[in-house]
Structure 1
Amino acid sequence: MADGMLSQEEIDALTKGITPDAPQTSTPNITNTDAAVAADGKPSNAAPPLTEIEKDTLGEIGNISMGSAATTLSLLLGHKVSITTPNVTMDTMADIKTHYPIPYLIVGVSYTTGIIGNNILAIQARDAAVIADLMMGGNGTNVSDELDEIRQSAVSEAMNQMMGSVSTSLSQVFDKKIDISPPKVHIVDMATADEVTDFWTQTEPVIRISFKMEVEGIIDSEIMQILPVDVSRELVRGLTESAKKSAEQSTLPQPEPAVQPESTPAPAPAAAAVSPSPSSAPAQQTAPTYQVHTQPGNSQNIVSNVPVQPAQFTPLTVGPPATVNNANIGLLLNVPLDITVELGSAKKSIKDILDLSSGSIIELDKLAGEPVDVLVNGKLLAKGEVVVIDENFGVRITDIASPLEVTRSL
């Protein structure tokens, strides 16, 4: 201050509550991105940690959904698949990359109806190659770790049906319709990839639910389901509300029976004196009479002089357990089935069909010499080649259709 006048710097210091003589410390320029990430690489503004109840609920949801997914995968592979022991943790994608630095098959799925959010399923690339080999008719051994386009398509179909069964299970549990978008499948090397998925950033907190997956002595590995925190808590809230709704419905009071109004019993008419004859005595037996009493102030009637007999039950006998008869395939041997051999097919417009005449040629979708399809009741069963037997055409079976081919034909 000079000559009783305050300088601009002194005015600014007073308005900020700082005395001019006090030492000023510089405040670092912290951006939102810098504040969001702490020194250890984890988000400092992360969502609150999961409670034990939330973890247990997510584990239960995972058990239900992955149980149906295991059933679907068992049908596709022709081998028993078990997915058990969920472990729920809160991580970031950077942490997941650090702990699992191997190639993974990432299946990205978005919830579109009932639940809004993203969800990915991560399976080791080696396990995905085994699944693709089993779907294509192999035995799952001596499999290359590399997935070509055909094998990726096979695994994509398996993951699509698995996630479809998961959404169906969630719809039944939450009692509302839940739909998902078609899955996007790609291979990611966790050790070298900069980004695992475009759904979330590296430092955004996510919920990782890991399961143990076994395929009948062929695969003994781990599969992961990764969800954002808001979707996870929405799942917990949905299951809690569904359970509460079911409990309320089960405890609703039952409707009470209608109470009849009080009525004064009419006096019984005097019985006429009749002297029964011996011949008519059995026919003139009167029904037993009951007395009905109404207590004052009580609308319920009390019936007395009612004949009561103890209940009689058939005595229980302890014997050898009944043998269960196995299904007799002989009962089905005489059921007729329609076998059709399809040389090929073509799609034509109505105009092309109307232009057909005697001598017209229709080009089919199969090449010359390609095996024909053998259909049983319209379902693909096998492939074969056309032969001639005693001037009649026949088909020699060359290959039984794999589960993947049957699925594509459907």
Structure 2
Amino acid sequence: MSDLLSQDEIDALLRGMSESSLHEAISDQDKDVLGEIGNISMGTAATTLSILLNQKVSITTPIVSVLKWDELPKEFPVPYVAIKVVYKEGLDGVNLLVLKKEDVEIIADLMMGGSGSIEFSEELSELQLSAIQEAMNQMVGSASTSLSSMLNLKIDISPPEAFVIDFAQNAEEMIPELKRADEIVKVAFRMTIGDLIDSQIMQLIPVDFAKQLVNAMLNSTLSTSSVQEKSEPKTSAQESAKTIEKTVKSEQSKKQQTGASLQSFQPKKEEKSERVYNVSPVQFESFDEEEERRYPENIELILDVPLEITVELGRTQKLVREILEFSTGSIIELDKLAGEPVDILVNGKVIAKGEVVVIDESFGVRITDIVNPSNRL
């Protein structure tokens, strides 16, 4: 009997070693930390997307798994839309967001002011890719801000790039960084948008970058714990993830504690004695301004999200033949009278009225009226 191994036995040993090293690369504790990072950052991104689409958006329930590059075509058998995010500062790596093509078409339609009830096409247009790229740009920006707060790092990313990807054909050309990594962490989230979408949005992260995220999170958690608790730092990844979650919710806890302390306060009873009291009518302050300034408790999560402000002088409608007759010097009559307040729009929504002023050599707008102050968000 020969002592040499057959090719089948060699292949089986290599597969066993590969699977063993794959499981050692990302432990269950690391998966818990990655899930917590994704849960918090995607929660912030969902808030931003909700504002953009004017729909209720929920991105929850992260499920973390580890894949080999060769397994991606089986996981994603049809063409998907990928958004590539490159980290330039604070972290060094690539993150890939993956969405179903049908979900992208609905989001793009909502971004362009539609209802989301559409007939799906075979291919995405450049306009649809631009719309989803802008939506993801806003989402990833707010998620990076949240991640920066969690890790106590200044994080900067390149503008996200959106493209259609087929993992069985052009994935190696589109995302060579993941091909070189070979081992990839997939974080899948359930995403619901109103009653239009109930699907998944997925993150694909190279294992090396995933380990970098875990180490940054643990280091941040340990330093926070040592300063606040002045005790021996915890090394468990699960405990570290829970500490981070508590830190993010600290402001809400402080407010609840303050409310409880006010409720528990009871004035001391005055001892019976002959005293003269000055009695006067009670005058209460007006709470109108306070009501206008009452924002959601988690508003700080999106304070750094950039919004586009537009001042609209007026509008009009013309026929195609009239537009074709335009030439240099043509005058277009608008639907507003001279001196009438102009509209101030934020991301296409009217929030205020104003009057045009001149500041040095530039135009400006002085706000004269706030439209629906309670609905500005």
Q: TM-score range by the shorter chain?
A: 0.5 to 0.7
User: Structure 2 CA distance, aligned partners of 1:48 and 1:370?
Assistant: 70
Would the alpha carbon gap of residues 203 and 137 (structure 1) be closer, same or farther in structure 2, given more than 3 Å must change?
Answer: same
Deviation, 1:199, is: 2.0
Deviations 1:109-158 (A, max 9, x none): 11110100111000001000000001111111123243211111111100
The aligned residue for residue 176 of structure 1 is 153
Q: Which runs of 5+ in 2 are unaligned?
A: 232-264, 270-286, 293-310, 317-326, 351-377
The aligned residue for residue 205 of structure 1 is 183
The aligned residue for residue 80 of structure 2 is 104
User: Structure 2 CA distance, aligned partners of 1:372 and 1:150?
Assistant: 29
Q: For 1:138, what is the secondary structure of its paired residue?
A: coil
Q: For 2:59, what is the secondary structure of its paired residue?
A: strand
Among 51, 54, 58, the residue aligned to 1:82: 58
Would the alpha carbon gap of residues 161 and 126 (structure 1) be closer, same or farther in structure 2, given more than 3 Å must change?
Answer: same
Q: For 1:137, what is the secondary structure of its paired residue?
A: coil
Q: For 1:101, what is the secondary structure of its paired residue?
A: coil
Deviation, 1:252, is: 4.2
The aligned residue for residue 236 of structure 1 is 214
Among 131, 152, 169, the residue aligned to 2:129: 152
The aligned residue for residue 70 of structure 1 is 46
The aligned residue for residue 314 of structure 2 is 341
Q: For 1:65, what is the secondary structure of its paired residue?
A: helix
Would the alpha carbon gap of residues 340 and 61 (structure 1) be closer, same or farther in structure 2, given more than 3 Å must change?
Answer: same
Would the alpha carbon gap of residues 95 and 342 (structure 1) be closer, same or farther in structure 2, given more than 3 Å must change?
Answer: same
Q: For 1:171, what is the secondary structure of its paired residue?
A: helix
Contact 1:340 1:378 in 2 (8 A): no
Deviations 1:59-106 (A, max 9, x none): 000001101110111011000100000000000233122122122101
Q: For 1:84, what is the secondary structure of its paired residue?
A: strand
Q: For 1:115, what is the secondary structure of its paired residue?
A: coil
The aligned residue for residue 114 of structure 2 is 138
Among 70, 95, 103, the residue aligned to 1:119: 95
The aligned residue for residue 266 of structure 1 is none
User: Structure 2 CA distance, aligned partners of 1:39 and 1:222?
Assistant: 30
Q: For 1:126, what is the secondary structure of its paired residue?
A: helix
User: Structure 2 CA distance, aligned partners of 1:64 and 1:380?
Assistant: 25
Q: Which runs of 5+ in 1 are unaligned?
A: 1-22, 29-33, 254-310, 316-323, 330-337, 344-361, 384-410
User: Structure 1 CA distance, aligned partners of 2:111 and 2:333?
Assistant: 22
Deviations 1:285-308 (A, max 9, x none): xxxxxxxxxxxxxxxxxxxxxxxx
User: Structure 1 CA distance, aligned partners of 2:349 and 2:25?
Assistant: 54
The answer as to 2:354 corresponding to 1:376 is no
The answer as to 2:227 corresponding to 1:249 is yes
Contact 1:94 1:203 in 2 (8 A): no
User: Structure 2 CA distance, aligned partners of 1:380 and 1:74?
Assistant: 13
Q: Residues 380-399 of structure 1: matches in 2 within 5 Å?
A: none
User: Structure 1 CA distance, aligned partners of 2:151 and 2:335?
Assistant: 46
Would the alpha carbon gap of residues 369 and 177 (structure 1) be closer, same or farther in structure 2, given more than 3 Å must change?
Answer: same
The aligned residue for residue 59 of structure 1 is 35
Contact 2:181 2:206 in 1 (8 A): no
Deviations 1:234-293 (A, max 9, x none): 11111111111111111349xxxxxxxxxxxxxxxxxxxxxxxxxxxxxxxxxxxxxxxx
The aligned residue for residue 203 of structure 2 is 225
Would the alpha carbon gap of residues 371 and 228 (structure 1) be closer, same or farther in structure 2, given more than 3 Å must change?
Answer: farther
The CA RMSD measured in Å over matched residues stands at 4.2
Q: Which has the larger radius of gyration?
A: 1
The answer as to 2:192 corresponding to 1:214 is yes
User: Structure 2 CA distance, aligned partners of 1:55 and 1:381?
Assistant: 40
What code does the residue aligned with 2:125 have? D
User: Structure 2 CA distance, aligned partners of 1:183 and 1:339?
Assistant: 29
Q: Residues 27-38 of structure 1: matches in 2 within 5 Å?
A: 38=14
User: Structure 2 CA distance, aligned partners of 1:101 and 1:372?
Assistant: 52
Give the count of matched residue pairs. 263
User: Structure 2 CA distance, aligned partners of 1:152 and 1:375?
Assistant: 32
Deviation, 1:312, is: 7.9
Deviation, 1:202, is: 7.9
The aligned residue for residue 164 of structure 1 is 141
The aligned residue for residue 238 of structure 2 is none
Contact 1:38 1:44 in 2 (8 A): no
Contact 1:106 1:188 in 2 (8 A): yes
> Which protein has greater RCO, CA pairs closer than 8 Å, 6+ apart?
2
Contact 2:25 2:207 in 1 (8 A): no
Q: For 2:133, what is the secondary structure of its paired residue?
A: helix
Q: For 2:179, what is the secondary structure of its paired residue?
A: coil
Q: For 2:178, what is the secondary structure of its paired residue?
A: coil
User: Structure 2 CA distance, aligned partners of 1:141 and 1:240?
Assistant: 44
User: Structure 2 CA distance, aligned partners of 1:205 and 1:173?
Assistant: 26
The aligned residue for residue 304 of structure 1 is none
Deviation, 1:375, is: 4.7
User: Structure 2 CA distance, aligned partners of 1:87 and 1:26?
Assistant: 39
